[in-house]
Chain A
């Protein structure tokens, strides 16, 4: 493992056993989160983003199984840890913010109680813990934090609730924050507020962020590095400028073209990617995107391409950008 990476996933494959047989939900996924970086993961629903997060925190559903690969976090392999060891990492070294803050906050406990409860690992008295909670709430921008500590989640607005969820996730000063579409439920002005707040906190605390979203604008604005996933594979990764200015994989190119924010001319007919996401139970023999790719040729249909490009830099899984051996 590269010591400058907080999180390093190598060759991760995960499958689910279902009544339709075994579904290979993730295949040979590589991903690295360098210390102090914000890494964005983009892809359509069903591309394996959530499965990947659940594998990292080892909370896959009972029918899911890691087939191969490794997940190294701060030097140790998460997949080889015992459950008590894993518990000491979840919520302390790695924490999460989910899409809907109402789900991660308990509606019948005041936010002060919840923020004191999550400090159960600290050997401090309760008034100290409350003071720390107030400081953290102030840092995420909750006005009158001290007075509002005994309020319940429903007394806060949507944007404030999401900031409270972020405060709770950052209370333990984790080295990795996993944010799973934290701004989808918010309007544009609040979305921007949350993004800037995350950026500030990341800089002052020095943690790394793994940011999952399918909002390309948010990814472009917030992230340093981007990973594009499709059908359970990483199809491209690179810096945010590589991905948005020089996308190599046809899927990434199409995805960016499809964003209505991109089109200056007003049009009633929106561009789309024709075809359907591949059925994981019946994977194509060649490239995973070949069925929908407008550039697919001969070997795309029978040989799966490898992730190729600069080592540790901009890479894509495509026959067009990788001439391959012997050509």
Chain B
């Protein structure tokens, strides 16, 4: 399958101190690596899920894909074209093909615009203002299952689920090839969450888009993604086909994450792999394998040597000295 999006060794660094302050404090390298050495591919029509705790770099990675953050190293290719180092106007043209759903559905809709204006905005930004916008707005509302009379409402008059639907409509307005959905169902109730996921699935089938979904809801990942990647401290520690990873997680962090998932059954016997200690700071990355201070299976080499990425079958890879 041809990859639509290809990331290779992407590294995103953020400055922690200004040059002068860093010099005064004697800090040689006043940067943190929010994303470090990430390589992944998303095939056409596929859904890729990124999981990991808050602060592990999921959102930064997504922002670098849509061009809101410039990676310091590595390459991001979309349909074979290199995106890093693109001029601003080229980047704008590229963004037509990527729809984004942001985390906070109501916050990402301007409170002073009607739904019609919000849905027409992408067309105007990309110089398509001549299209029959009323028709487009009706088409989009219909696609996401909202009544056409919603077009005169303001975001505050919508429920959480309806606001997400408007978010989906905006993301698909220009027939994108890729949708980047950052926590598309956070804060929603299970039934509304189901509706939004079904809507995304239906649109994917009809329009053939690829989806990069970021979430910390493992149940969502299990049901809707084809492949998944687990991030820890800005690195992908494991990635592969979702079924395969749920069947046999190889990295101890993945194992802990999957076994921590609480089950809706008070009598469930869960064999938990408990993690100890705290998530280390990006400023003081641990030596060797960065997971070793919390790893229940760590042995001596783990503290000294950075593990190489190994590959199991079917593009399943993991970064661990002693995989499960």
Contacts and interface: CB of A to CB of B under 8 A. Distances in A.
A187 B52 contact: yes
B233 to A, nearest CB: 11
A166 to B, nearest CB: 15
Contacts of A45: 159-160, 187-189
Interface string A226-253: 0000000000000011001100000000
Nearest to A215: B262
Contact of B260 (A157, A189, A255, A266): A189
Interface stretch (B15-23, B135-143, B216-224): B216-224
Given A45-B189, A273-B191, A191 B262 contact: yes
- The 3 A-B residue pairs with the shortest CB-CB distance, nearest first, are A217-B262, A270-B194, A187-B53
Interface stretch (A22-30, A60-68, A69-77, A257-265): A257-265
A270 B52 contact: no
A193 B276 CA distance: 9
B38 interface: no
Interface string A248-290: 0000001110111111001111111100110000000000000
Q: Give the residue among B218, B262, B272 with the most A Cβ atoms within 10 A.
A: B262
Contacts of A254: 191
B89 to A, nearest CB: 37
Contacts of A188: 216, 218, 257-258, 260-262
A267 B198 CA distance: 10
Given A244-B265, A270-B223, A272-B195, A157 B278 contact: yes
Contact of B219 (A159, A193, A221, A259): A259
B262 A266 contact: no
Contact of A258 (B191, B220, B265): B191
A256 B264 contact: yes
B223 A157 contact: no
B30 interface: no
Contact of B272 (A192, A215, A216, A245): A192
Given A157-B55, A261-B263, A214 B190 contact: yes
Contacts of A1: none
A61 to B, nearest CB: 15
Nearest to B188: A45
A324 to B, nearest CB: 28
A218 interface: yes
A258 B281 CA distance: 37
Interface string A176-215: 0000000011111111110100000000000000000011
Contacts of B52: 187
A42 to B, nearest CB: 9
A37 interface: no
Contacts of A266: 222-223, 243
B201 to A, nearest CB: 5
Nearest to B262: A217
Contacts of A83: none
Given A158-B55, A192-B272, A270-B223, A143 B278 contact: yes
Contacts of A245: 266-267
Given A43-B189, A159-B53, 18 more contacts: A45-B160, A157-B281, A184-B186, A185-B54, A187-B52, A188-B261, A190-B53, A191-B260, A192-B260, A192-B262, A195-B262, A217-B261, A241-B266, A258-B193, A260-B194, A263-B223, A268-B223, A272-B195
Which has the most chain B C-beta neighbours within 10 Å: A195, A245, A261? A261
Interface in B179-218: 186-195, 197-198, 201, 216, 218
A117 interface: no
B61 to A, nearest CB: 16
A251 to B, nearest CB: 10
A277 B158 CA distance: 12
B133 interface: no
Contacts of B256: 189
A12 interface: no
B86 interface: no
Interface string B69-83: 000000000000000
A111 interface: no
B266 A244 contact: yes
Contacts of B281: 157
B262 A218 contact: yes
A150 interface: no
Contact of A220 (B190, B222, B257, B262): B262
A220 B265 contact: yes
A259 B222 CA distance: 12
A291 interface: no
B191 A44 contact: yes
B271 to A, nearest CB: 13
Given A188-B257, A271-B194, A244 B264 contact: yes
Contacts of A189: 53, 256-257, 260, 275
B190 A255 contact: yes
Contacts of A44: 189, 191-192
